[in-house]
Chain A
Amino acid sequence: MPVMSYIQAVTTALKEEMLRDEKVFILGEDVGKKGGVFRATEGLYNEFGEYRVLDTPLSESAIAGVGIGAAMYGMRPVAEMQFADFIMPAVNQIISEAAKTRYRSNNDWNVPITIRAPYGGGVHGALYHSQSVEAVFANQPGLKIVMPSSPYDVKGLLKAAIRDNDPVLFFEHKRAYRLLKEEVPNEDYVLPIGKADVKREGSDITVITYGLCVHFALQTAEKLANEGIETHILDLRTVYPLDKEGIIEAASKTGKVLLITEDNKEGSIIGEVGAIIAENCLFDLDAPVMRLAGPDVPAMPFAPTMEKFFMVNPDKCEKAMRELAEF
């Protein structure tokens, strides 16, 4: 089994899906000749040609909207937003159009589009190259939001997103692109959208998180295990709609729950996770539900001091997990 980085898993999934189904095509800024600013589409232009790896004008609403039109016709577009921060001009197309097409047409039309975007901080990207934007879309029925935490999950979930008959937002953590590597099977496989995944079994505390924070939580859990604290880690993988059963099961297992997100705290995905736990797990809880998140400031600043202050990291995870374990 080859070892692959997170971004190589993206490229591999795209390539395999394009070989499997000629309706699959990529559109976005700099995705063609350049192979993407992060090189996620590297080599695909040469292999598949201009119209299947299409360099678009610098126009996010058109990237989404043209993709939606092509998807209604029956294509399988994979649209790339160069940074999640730049998805905002396309929000009307995503929320008013893609999310509602099946519903508003009473199941007559549908939009099988995947919209990929690199999100997240810790890369000196400052306010507009670091944001987590999932919460903007996470109360829009009709959308699915997938945020994988590992190369293995990237390959299986991106393939599932492309094959899905409804619109999927696929957010990739840009710091994970080259940081995370693992063995990824050569074989074709898909992972289920809408299902959370237990990344580590444990009996003392439960951490529920997604994206790069899964990696931080896993690192910390190894460290705490040396001291006899066993952490159960649930990776949401799909942050909308949430896997309620998976969340209830993981929270009930230890009765002590820490929720982690890199996003701003108020109004984030983990607030809804907390509500699910409050509604369903009251008598299983042994501690108040804890949250670790970014502060409620617009986004992380450029200066390393302030960026570090904003970001979730293993130290912050350790402090919170230890505090919960000792409660």
Chain B
Amino acid sequence: MANLHTELGLSDQDVLDIYQTMLLARKIDERMWLLNRSGKIPFVISCQGQEAAQVGASFALNREKDYVSPYYRDLGVVLSFGMTAKDLMLSAFAKAEDPNSGGRQMPGHFGQKKNRILTGSSPVTTQVPHAVGVALAGKMEKKDFVSFVTLGEGSSNQGDFHEGLNFAGVHKLPVITMVENNQYAISVPIEKQIASKNISVRALSYGMEGVTVDGNDPLAVYKAVRDARERAINGEGGTVIEAVSYRLTAHSSDDDDRYREKEEVDEAKKQDAIITFGNYLKEENVLSNKIEEEMNRDITSIINEATDYAEEAPYAMPEDALKYVYEE
């Protein structure tokens, strides 16, 4: 009998891979909080609650050729695009070998050219025009990749969102924009951020499709991104996808979330995709207890190894602060 994922053309192994990547992102994130609270790393900014959208979307892209411009919560995206737990731990510990920045940027500021992950900054939404520029280059060179960019719902109020997507819309560029609506921009809830009924309705003004999907359902996000990619490759232009979920942690390790009720967070945790998608896979007899145990064991050992390696790895030399201002 057909189930939800086979109807989408995904094999049992595909959905296990999606689940494993979600779980890896969650467990790396949890480890980073422990390292932060024990004083070993200065900062964490979390993906928790958004792994389903990040990994579901990434698996619908071509991870051999598409370009991604992630934002700071996109642990699930960068893991799907080839970054490793070790790479991420090197970044958390700010070590010289960190491929994102060589220990120059805070964690969450991703970038890795060999995996086509554009380098990002802290001012939000600046990556949207960059993703459009990559798509423009692709169109000029008649390439068949798409450019995927993500941001939070609060960031969708920045001018660069409008400027970038309007540009992409005018030239029907292959850009897929996923707004990860986690309901909060630090302390300010969605209803104080936007006046429209949702984010995706904004797509209309850019001549694009706009869809709102359940960000806790990796298969729903997968389908939305897969369809968007098909349209983009066919020359039909971009899509704005709003993936609605909930930020399960405080904004960052320097925030406490006293601005929201514990009951609200507890309620959201019932929809946590790590649990709900795990349950789905068990109901469909894809995920057995044995596979789940193996997965957890493997992930723990990968993270332990990555943490140990990163903790022992050397920092950049002080004078390395002078390098790479310009081409050398």
Residues of A that sit less than 8 Å from B by CB: 25, 51-52, 56-57, 59, 61-62, 64-75, 77, 89, 92-93, 96-97, 100-110, 141-142, 144, 164-166
Contacts and interface: CB of A to CB of B under 8 A. Distances in A.
A30 to B, nearest CB: 15
Given A74-B137, A107-B323, A59 B166 contact: yes
B152 interface: no
B133 A102 contact: no
8 contacts: A57-B166, A59-B163, A62-B132, A62-B166, A73-B133, A104-B121, A141-B325, A166-B326
Contacts of B103: 106
Residue in A73, A89, A109, A142 with the greatest tally of chain B CB atoms within 10 Å = A73
A67 B138 CA distance: 13
Interface of B: 67, 69, 98-105, 109, 111-113, 118-119, 121-123, 126, 128-140, 147, 159-160, 163-164, 166-167, 170, 323-328
B28 to A, nearest CB: 21
Contact of A71 (B67, B102, B133): B133
Nearest to A74: B137
Nearest to A70: B133
A77 B326 CA distance: 18
Given A56-B167, A103-B325, A61 B136 contact: no
B132 A92 contact: no
Contacts of A107: 102, 323-324, 328
Contacts of A109: 111, 113, 118-119
Nearest to B166: A57
A100 to B, nearest CB: 7
Contacts of B98: 106
Contacts of A102: 324-327
Given A56-B167, A61-B160, 5 more contacts: A61-B159, A66-B132, A70-B136, A72-B119, A101-B119
Contacts of B132: 62, 65-66, 69
Contact of B167 (A59, A74, A100, A104): A59
